[in-house]
Chain A
Amino acid sequence: MNKIYKNAEEAVADIKDGSTLMLGGFGLCGIPENCIAALVKKGTKNLVCISNNAGVDDFGIGLMLQQKQVKKMISSYVGENAEFERQLLSGELEVELVPQGTLATRCMASGYGMPAIYTPAGVGTEVAEGKEIRNFNGKDYLLEMAFDADFAIVKAWKGDEHGNLVYKDTARNFNPLMAMAGKITIAEVEELVPAGELDPNNIHTPGIYVHRIFKGVNYEKRIEQRTVRKK
C-alpha cells in the first residue's frame, strides 16, 4: 500500500477533462489550495465541481473559473466573485443551487453507500420542482440523490501514510463528507506523519476512504472576512 504522492501535480495528474470533482471547504476555509493550483496549471477543462462555494475572483475555485475550466458548479452559495457572475449571466457556466444541508447530506449518503436521502429542505419551493415528494408522519420530504463524483479533493490538517485524516477547527466542514464520497479521494495535508503518530481515537476520516495523500506546501489560508476586536 502506497498512498503517498509527492505533490499536487502528481496527485491530480490523471484527472481528465469532463470529470466530476468534489472540492472541500466552506468559503475559503479548508479548501485544497495545492490541488486547485495544480488543476489550474494542468488546464483540465469542462469540470463539474461540487463545492459549497465557488471561491473569490483570485482565489480558490475562482482561479479555475478565470481559466474557464468549470462547466458546471453545484453549490449552496456562490457569486462572491465577478468573473463567476459574468460567466453565469453569459451562459458559459451552468449552476445548480442546492440547500447547504442537502449538499452535505448528498455527499454523506454517497460515502455511506446510500443512493438517496429524504429531506424537508426546499419543500414548497423551486428546489422541489420535478422531485419526488413523500409524506412521513404528516410532513413532506424531498427525495434527493446521492452525489456521484470521480474525484473528491479534500484538505486536512494532519494525515498519516494510511490516509487517516484529522481536520482543524471549522476547516473540517465538507471535507470529511467528500473524502468518503469520491471514487478516488485525494487528500492534501499540512502535516504528513508516519502510521502510529495520530491517536486512533481522534481520527476524523479513516484511511480506507483516502486513496492519495500528500503534504501540501505554501498554504496561504486567505481570510475572507477578517473581524477582530481591540485588546
Chain B
Amino acid sequence: MALDKYQIAQRISNELQDGYYVNLGIGIPTLVANYIPKGMNVVLQSENGLLGMGPFPFEGEEDADLINAGKQTITTLPGSAFFDSAMSFGMIRSGKVDLTVLGAMEVSENGDIANWKIPGKMVKGMGGAMDLVASAKNIIVAMMHTNPKGESKLLPECTLPLTGKRCVKKIVTELAVLELVNGSFKLLERAPGVSVEEIQQKTAGKLIVEGDIPEMSL
C-alpha cells in the first residue's frame, strides 16, 4: 500500500534527532510537526521570524501578529524567540538549521530540485525556497513519486526551472525512501507492500537497488 500524506510525514519524523533545529515547508512537510516523538526536543524554525513554533491557537486566541511562513495563525512555546527576516535567513545560510523538509515538483538524480515555477503558468515566486536549498546541510524532499499525469518526478534531469542545484540528500515519497548518491537515486526502503518493480517503473532517473530492500517502519 502506498503511503498517504500523513504517513509520509510520519516516516520523515524518523529522521528527527534530539536537539535538532528544523525548518518545515508548506504542505506535507508541515505535517511532520505532528509526529515529533514524545520527549524529543526539536525546535521548529519558521522563516518569517520564529524559533520554537507551537501548535495552532485555541479558538478565540488567534493573534494576527503571530503567524507561520504559510501565514497560518500559530502559537509560541516556552523558550521561543522572535527575530527579523535577515537573521532568520542568516541562521539558515550559516548552517545552524539541522534539517529542512520541503516539497518538490521534480528532483533530478544529481540532487537538483525544481519547486517554484511552471513556465506559462502564473508564477508566484520562490519565497524562501532558494535560500533554504542553497544553504541547508540536510534537505529531505517530501513529495509524491509521480505527478497527476502519472509521470515520474524523479528524473535524469529536471525539466522545470531549478530552485537549486545538487542539494537534495533524501526523498520520501508514498512509495519509497531514496538517498541521492553519486548521481543516482539509491533505494533505501519501500512502503509496506510496494514492490521494487513498481518503484523502478515509476523512477525515470537512475535507480540503484542493492540487495533486499526493507519495508519502512512507521
B20 shortest CB reach to chain A, Å: 20
Q: Name the A residues within 8 Å of B68 (CB-CB).
A: 170
Distance to closest chain B CB from A91 (angstroms): 14
Residue-wise, chain A 77-110 has the 8 Å CB interface mask toward B (1 for contact) of 1111000010011000000010111111101100
Number of contact residues on A: which range applies?
A: 35 or more
CB distance A174 to B85 under 8 Å? yes
Looking at the assembled complex, report how far the CB atom of A127 sits from the nearest CB atom of chain B, in whole angstroms.
6
Per the bound structure, the CA–CA distance linking A229 and B122 in Å amounts to 33
Q: Does B46 contact A (CB under 8 A)?
A: yes
Interface pair B128/A169, CB less than 8 Å apart:
no
> Interface-forming stretch among A15-23, A26-34, A39-47?
A26-34
Q: Which residue of B lies closest to A120 (CB)?
A: B134
Using known A-B contacts A105-B86, A124-B162, determine if residue A170 contacts B131 with beta carbons closer than 8 Å.
Answer: no
- Verify B49–A170 contact, CB threshold 8 A: yes
Q: How far is the CA of A167 from the CA of B87 in the complex (A)?
A: 15
The digit string for B86-123, where 1 denotes a CB below 8 A from any CB of A, is: 10111011000000000000000000100000000011
Q: Is the pair A225, B73 in contact by a Cβ cutoff of 8 Å?
A: yes
C-alpha spacing A89/B61, complex, angstroms: 39
Contact A76 B125 (CB under 8 A): yes
Q: Which listed residue (B72, B122, B126) contacts A99, Cβ 8 A?
A: B126
CB pair A127–B130 under 8 Å, yes or no, is: yes
Nearest residue, chain A, Cβ from B165 = A124
Instruction: Indicate if the CB atoms of A99 and B131 lie closer than 8 Å.
Output: yes
Majority SS of interface residues in chain B? loop
Interface centre among A123, A125, A168, A170 (most CB of B within 10 A): A170
How near does chain B come to A199, taking the closest CB pair, in angstroms? Answer: 16
Once A120-B134, A125-B130, A174-B85 are accepted as A-B contacts, the answer to whether A100 and B65 lie under 8 Å apart by CB is no
CB–CB A231/B58 < 8 A: yes
Least CB separation from A231: chain B residue: B58
A172 interfacial contact with B, CB 8 Å: yes
Residue in B46, B62, B123 whose beta carbon sits within 8 Å of that of A170 in the complex: B46
Write out the residue numbers on chain A whose beta carbons fall within 8 Å of the beta carbon of B49.
Answer: 26, 170, 172-173
Whether the pair A229, B57 counts as a contact (CB closer than 8 A) is yes
| Bound: A66/B193 CA distance, A | 54
Interface pair B66/A122, CB less than 8 Å apart: no
Decide: A169 near B82, CB < 8 A? Known: A77-B127, A122-B130. yes
* Distance in Å: Cβ of A31 to nearest Cβ of chain B: 10
Q: Which residues of B contact A224 (CB under 8 A)?
A: 67, 71
> Does A223 reach chain B (CB closer than 8 Å)?
yes
> Complex: how many Å from CA A231 to CA B61?
10
Nearest B residue to A175 via CB reads B84
Whether a CB of chain A sits under 8 angstroms from the CB of B63 is: yes
- Does the CB pair A26–B59 fall under 8 Å? no
B62-83 interface code vs A (CB 8 A; 1 in, 0 out): 1111111111111010000011
Q: How far is the CB of B99 from chain A (nearest CB, A)?
A: 17
The distance from the CB of A1 to the nearest CB of chain B, in whole angstroms, is 26
The verdict on B124 contacting chain A, using a C-beta distance below 8 Å, is: yes
Q: Verify if B55 is at the interface (C-beta below 8 Å from A).
A: yes
CB contact between B85 and one of A80, A157, A168, A173 (< 8 Å): that residue: A173
User: What B residues does A76 contact at CB under 8 A?
Assistant: 125-128
Q: Which residues of A are in contact with B by a Cβ distance under 8 Å?
A: 26-30, 52, 75-80, 85, 88-89, 97, 99-105, 107-108, 119-127, 157, 167-177, 204, 221-231
Q: Name 10 extra pairs, CB < 8 A, besides A104-B84, A169-B65, A173-B85.
A: A79-B122, A99-B126, A100-B131, A119-B134, A169-B50, A170-B46, A170-B67, A170-B68, A172-B83, A228-B73
Could you pull out 30 A-B pairs where Cβ atoms are within 8 angstroms?
A: A26-B67, A26-B71, A29-B48, A29-B64, A78-B124, A79-B124, A88-B122, A97-B125, A101-B85, A101-B86, A102-B130, A102-B131, A104-B89, A105-B86, A169-B63, A170-B82, A176-B84, A177-B84, A221-B65, A225-B73, A226-B62, A226-B72, A226-B73, A227-B62, A227-B74, A228-B57, A228-B73, A229-B55, A229-B56, A230-B58
